[in-house]
Amino acid sequence: MSIVMTGGGTGGHLVIIKAVKEELRGEELVYIGSTKGQDQKWFGEDGDFAAKYFLDTRGVVNQGIIGKFRSLFMLLKATLEASSLLKKHDAKAVFCVGGFSAAPTSLAAILRRIPLVIHEQNAAIGSLNRLLRPFARAFISSYIEESPVSSYPIKKIFFEERRLRDKVTTVIFLGGSQGAKAINDLAISLAPLLREKGISIIHQSGEKDYERVQNAYESMGIEAELFPFTSDPAGYMRRADLAIARAGASTLWELSAMGLPAVYIPYPYAAGDHQYYNAKFLVDNGLGWMMREGEIDMEKVLGIIDGSVGQQSRGLIGSVKSDGAGEIALLLREAASK
C-alpha cells in the first residue's frame, strides 16, 4: 500500500514534493516522473522513496502539429505504464504537483479511481491542473479561498531562519535555477551604488551567465558573494534584508516564510504569465514590490533600498503559516485510508 507522488519538470514543482514527503515519513512513497526536465536530478538518488520511475514523456504545449501527435502518443504509452505501476504498488492516493511529468500518473489514477490530490503552485492555474481539477479529490492552492489547505508547503528550515528585517544592509539577487539576465544586469548596474552605501551583495546568477557576471564584478573591483546555483537557498536568504528575484511560486513563498521582502521581476514568458500574478498577490496586499522586466526603474529600486522594509517584513511573517506541508500530508493520509 503506497502513496504515489508525481509531477515536476522544473524545480518549482519538485520542491513541493520535497517539502511534503518530509511530513510523510513512515509511509511507503513512490515517485513517478519523467526522463525529461529535472526529475532525475532531484530524485534519482533519493532514498526516501521505496521506488522511483522516470517515464518517457514531454510537454504537448508549444509543439508543432507533428510534435503534438508524437507527444500525445508518448503520453498514452506512459499512462499505460503508470497504470501498471499504480497496480504494482497498490497505490491508495496520488499526489500531483503539475507539469508535464504529472500527466500519465494523474490520468492513470483517474482511470483506476484512485484518489487524486492536486497542488497548484501558481496564482494562474496551469493547463494540466485545470484539466484535472474536476476529477480531483482535493485541489490545493494558496491563492483561492475554497482550498482545503491555504498554507503553502515550505520546508521547515525557511521558518526556522525567519527574522524581522528593517534597514537594508544586504541585498540578494535571485534569478531562479536557470538564472535571469535582466536581474543579473540590474545587479551589475546597481553594484557601484550599493558599494557606496556599504551594502553587501549576494548573487545567484545561474550557470549560463556566471562567468560574465563574475568578470563584471571583478572589472569593477567589487566583492560580491556570487554563485551559479545552490541547494541551500535558506542559508543565503537568511543573511539578506531585501531580495530582487523572479516570482516563481516556490521562491516567492520561501522568501515570504523568512520575512524577507522582495522586488519581484517576473519572467515575462512564463505560461499564463503566472509569475506576474504570483507577485501581484503579494503586491496587492502591500507585502512587496514588482516591476515588469522591460520597465525596471533603478531609481525606484534605490528608493526601496534606502527606505525601511520593516512593514513588509512584519506583514510577511504574520501572513505565512508553517503548517502547509503537514496539512497536505494529513490530507493525503486521509485520502489513502478511504
297: its cell numbers: 526603474
Q: How far apart are CA 329 and CA 338, in angstroms?
A: 15
User: What's the pLDDT band for 69 if we cut at 50, 70, 90?
Assistant: low
User: What pLDDT is recorded for position 38?
Assistant: 86
pLDDT recorded at residue 1: 80
What is the arithmetic mean of pLDDT over 208-234?
Answer: 94
Per residue in 138-156, pLDDT tens?
999 999 989 999 999 988 8
- pLDDT value at 127 more than 70: yes
pLDDT value at residue 78? 93
Q: Taking the model in full, what pTM does it have?
A: 0.84
Instruction: Tell me the pLDDT tens digit for each residue of 164-216.
Output: 999 999 999 998 767 799 999 999 999 999 999 999 999 999 999 999 999 99
CATH architecture of 157-319: 3-Layer(aba) Sandwich (3.40)
> What span, in angstroms and rounded, lies between the C-alpha atoms of 242 and 70?
45
CATH fold of 2-153+322-337 reads Rossmann fold (3.40.50)
Spatial separation of the C-alpha atoms in residues 253 and 244, rounded to whole Å: 14
**Residues 158, 243 contacting (CB under 8 angstroms):** no
The DSSP symbol for 287 reads S
> Which residue's C-alpha cell is 515519513?
25
Write out the residue limits of the CATH 3.40.50.2000 domain(s) in the chain: 2-153+322-337, 157-319
Tell me, what's the pLDDT at 67? Answer: 60
Tell me: pLDDT of 58 over 70: no
Q: Which one is predicted more confidently, 259 or 177?
A: 259
- 9 vs 298, higher pLDDT: 298
Dihedral of the CA atoms 47, 53, 56, 60 (nearest 10)? Answer: -80
**Per-residue model confidence as pLDDT tens digits over 88-100:** 999 999 999 998 8
Query: Comparing C-alpha atoms, which of 15, 55, 19 is closest to residue 35?
Result: 55
Cα dihedral 37→43→44→45 (10° resolution):
150
How high is the mean pLDDT of the chain?
93
Residue 13: per-residue pLDDT: 85
User: Cell 537594508 appears where?
Assistant: 168
